[in-house]
Structure 1
């Protein structure tokens, strides 16, 4: 799914250089946190563009914005899992971007399942106090890196 094609992106090099070493790490969930409208989604779009520039096929780069039409109804872990599951058929590492993941109660178990299964480099954003609290460390079993 192509993202960000209509709006020019401003590459935030200070953040990108911190994350680049983890782009292909399928054992670590990359968590981008911050207040609403601070550029988390744009940062993920920049990462996707860099992956494309490296030669990663579009079919292996998937973006779900859970605040947008078509995805706002995804609230249960089973619904999130159903969105991701078809990607298992795609060969190679899949790059999964989920914006506003806190909209799905119990998202941690779903992401842990795909992380431990391998083959998914997972990037998530969130803006609420839950993602900014210590709860995330417990729920993601310590296999994540946070960028604020």
Structure 2
């Protein structure tokens, strides 16, 4: 494993960072706290880490003081909890002078490895390392992070491109003033139409309509199967998919669990109300939906 880590460290330092569209989110670095980047699949979490690396390089930080490991790399398999120490040993053997200097450790999909949280806590306590973690929503939820790292984390949520970021991707430059002439207004209206159609996922921006729909359907299937069905051991997939279709067919509208329960009942689809409430929570955890409860002092009224 040490030899593999040695090669991966050299590969990272040799490989140029990719060109990217700057995201509007930012990371606040606090000593002895890990930065955790979460968000829906394919929303750009890893590329956001590349953005952080570029910002550090722009501040004069040497490239060798940055270390990035992707735990989905098959060369790291099998990786055991005891191998985490090999990361530190290999890195400091290559750069012994950095042992007493501030360095930056980026761990992508590290939640796949049992005992990752203990390693991160130890690093924060004993090393001059700033730690940034990214991971898929299926195994890295904000509530679990708080438990695993015991309050030693700062969470940044990454979304697909905002409209401003979408404009940047398409090289439409916005000036500082909020007022626009007729030409810019026409351009923005045109781009908003495209944005409403294509959405903000970075990977699909340059695809044709049919391929884009295929990729987005694949995103949805992966979220449903891996982040919801497998994670929560859901057996009533029919009711879950019916719920998702219903919500996505009428976004930003009022939704009643009671009414939807009666709809399922009339269709002969068995499902309890408690399960429907749980499904909604699972969809929220997977960043597929965001709930906006009704404004009411009554808890019962908010849970219609």
Bigger Cα displacement from structure 2, 109-118 vs 128-137: 128-137
Aligned residue in 2 for 1:99: 108
Q: Does 1:65 align with 2:70?
A: yes
Aligned residue in 2 for 1:42: 47
Higher relative contact order (CA 8 A, sep 6+): 1
Classify the secondary structure of the residue corresponding to 2:69.
Answer: strand
Aligned residue in 1 for 2:155: 146
* 2:67/2:104 contact within 8 Å kept: yes
CA-CA distance at 1:3 after TM superposition: 7.7
CA-CA distance at 1:84 after TM superposition: 2.9
Question: Structure 1 length as normaliser, TM-score?
Answer: 0.85
Q: Which has the larger radius of gyration?
A: 2
Classify the secondary structure of the residue corresponding to 1:15.
Answer: coil
Question: Structure 2 length as normaliser, TM-score?
Answer: 0.43
Q: Kindly tell me: are residues 74 and 95 of structure 1, through their superposed partners in 2, closer, same or farther at Cα, counting changes over 3 Å?
A: farther
CA-CA distance at 1:107 after TM superposition: 0.1
- What is the distance in 2 between the residues matched to 1:4 and 1:132? 31
Q: Does 1:2 align with 2:6?
A: no
Q: Kindly tell me: are residues 147 and 3 of structure 1, through their superposed partners in 2, closer, same or farther at Cα, counting changes over 3 Å?
A: farther
Runs of 4+ in 1 over 4 A off after TM superposition: none
Give the aligned CA root-mean-square deviation in angstroms: 1.9
Classify the secondary structure of the residue corresponding to 2:132.
Answer: strand
* 1:4/1:45 contact within 8 Å kept: no
Give the number of the structure whose residues are more often strand, by fraction. 1
Aligned partner of 1:116 among 112, 125, 141 = 125
- What is the distance in 1 between the residues matched to 2:14 and 2:47? 10
- What is the distance in 2 between the residues matched to 1:129 and 1:67? 14
Which ranges in structure 1 are unaligned for 5 or more consecutive residues? none
* 2:35/2:154 contact within 8 Å kept: yes
Aligned partner of 2:89 among 85, 90, 93 = 85
CA-CA distance at 1:129 after TM superposition: 2.9
